[in-house]
Amino acid sequence: MIEITLAGNPLDRAHHKRLDAGWLAAARKSALARIAVFSEGKPLIRDGAVAFLTSPALQMLGCAEEPGVFLGLENEDAYFAIELGRSAAEAAQELGGFADFRGTLASLPMTESAILGEARGLLNWHAHHQFCAKCGNPSLIADGGWKRICPACKAEHFPRTDPVVIMLAARGERALLGRQAMFPPGMFSTLAGFMEPGESIEEAVAREVLEEAAIEVGAVRYVASQPWPFPSSLMIGCIAEARSETITVDRTELEDARWFTRDEIVRALGRPMGEGPLSLPPPFAIAHQLIKAWLAEDGAAR
């Protein structure tokens, strides 16, 4: 059973509300609003859960006028998110701690991770798109954070999501894994790369495996996808049938790439990370889920 961290968002995104500036302002000021706050991309956490603030609490931090972005509804509760300025962030330290978001993924409740993922993806976009890419003038936030409009050239801009293919290439009892130089010692993972204009998912999978390891790929099967807001990816997870065996590592992308047997992988999954010769990504990474999906299929097929 595949479980995708950062998916499973319980909110109703309530698109029609985004266009209703009056409703948004009232909902945002309501004492029932649930507002996720970030400092430099780090969410405020208290006792292992997201410390959602209300509007009066935000006011006490001195950022009452910041509209933030609208995330959606859970029953009658409206969720928002805000990136705090420095002084408000300092004041907020009394209410919890700002934690590295990626570091919280293993421990936060799954629904809260998903809500924060939506928030973080949207806030990242605003942080890096304050100007109109078409004419260079400052653009303005609109539609509860789901659009930016250029007052100069009237261009409309929408949140960017970058599709990334991530794939386990397998051949019989062996799977291809690679490691980047920045990985902890002994850690290997599935290969991955950004999709480009003019290619299908299947073509991107084949291109990436060929580029990074010089392995040819045949059939490609989609398994699952994961929103990954670091800063704005959609991870599209596939299992690919490898059609060749001799690896040539692209050293500009990877430090190493190797075939691992099913047994080596099963043993690595059964061990705590960092022990033994091979470590694999943690369960919150889709790479882990792809590896598990391959093991399950492979076992069932025998």
Instruction: Give the interface with its own copies as residue ranges (CB under 8 A).
Output: 4, 6-9, 13, 15-16, 114-115, 117-119, 121-122, 125, 128-138, 146, 155, 157-163, 194-203, 207, 211, 222, 224-227, 229, 232, 234, 236, 252
Residue 293 beta carbon to its own copies: minimum distance, rounded to whole angstroms: 14
Of the pair 41, 163, the CB lying nearest its own copies is at 163
Q: Which is nearer to its own copies, 186 or 283 (CB)?
A: 283
Minimal distance, residue 39 CB to its own copies, in Å: 19
Q: Sign of the C-alpha dihedral, residues 13, 14, 19, 20?
A: negative
CB-nearer residue toward its own copies: 91 or 224:
224
Q: Toward its own copies, which CB reaches closer, 219 or 266? A: 219
204: tokens are 């991107």
Strand, helix or coil for residue 126: helix
Smallest gap from Cβ 272 to its own copies, in A, equals: 29
Least separation in angstroms between residue 165's CB and its own copies is 10
Roughly what angle, to the nearest 10 degrees, separates helices 286-301 and 262-270? 130
* Cβ closest to its own copies, residue 203 vs residue 241: 203
Q: Compare residues 238 and 268 and give the one whose CB is closer to its own copies.
A: 238
CA–CA separation, 195 and 201 (whole Å): 8
Burial of 169 (0-12, 13-18, 19+ CB in 10 A): buried
Instruction: Pick the closer one to its own copies by CB: 137 or 261.
Output: 137
212 contacts 250 by C-beta, under 8 angstroms: yes
Instruction: Report whether 197 contacts 156 (CB < 8 A).
Output: no
Minimum CB distance to its own copies, residue 187 (Å): 25
Supply the minimum distance, in Å, between the C-beta of residue 217 and its own copies: 14
C-alpha 11/C-alpha 118 separation (Å) is 10
Helix (H) or strand (E) holding 21: helix 21-29
Q: Output the smallest distance, CB 200 to its own copies, in A.
A: 4
> Strands 77-83 and 34-39, how do they pair?
parallel
Q: Report the residue number, 104 or 226, with the smaller CB distance to its own copies.
A: 226
Q: Is 177 helix (H, G, I), strand (E, B) or coil?
A: strand
Q: Label the pairing between strands 233-242 and 162-171.
A: parallel
CB atoms within 10 A of CB 234: 16
| End-to-end Cα distance, the chain | 19
3-state class of 262 per DSSP?
A: helix
- To its own copies, the closest distance from the beta carbon of 114 in angstroms equals 7
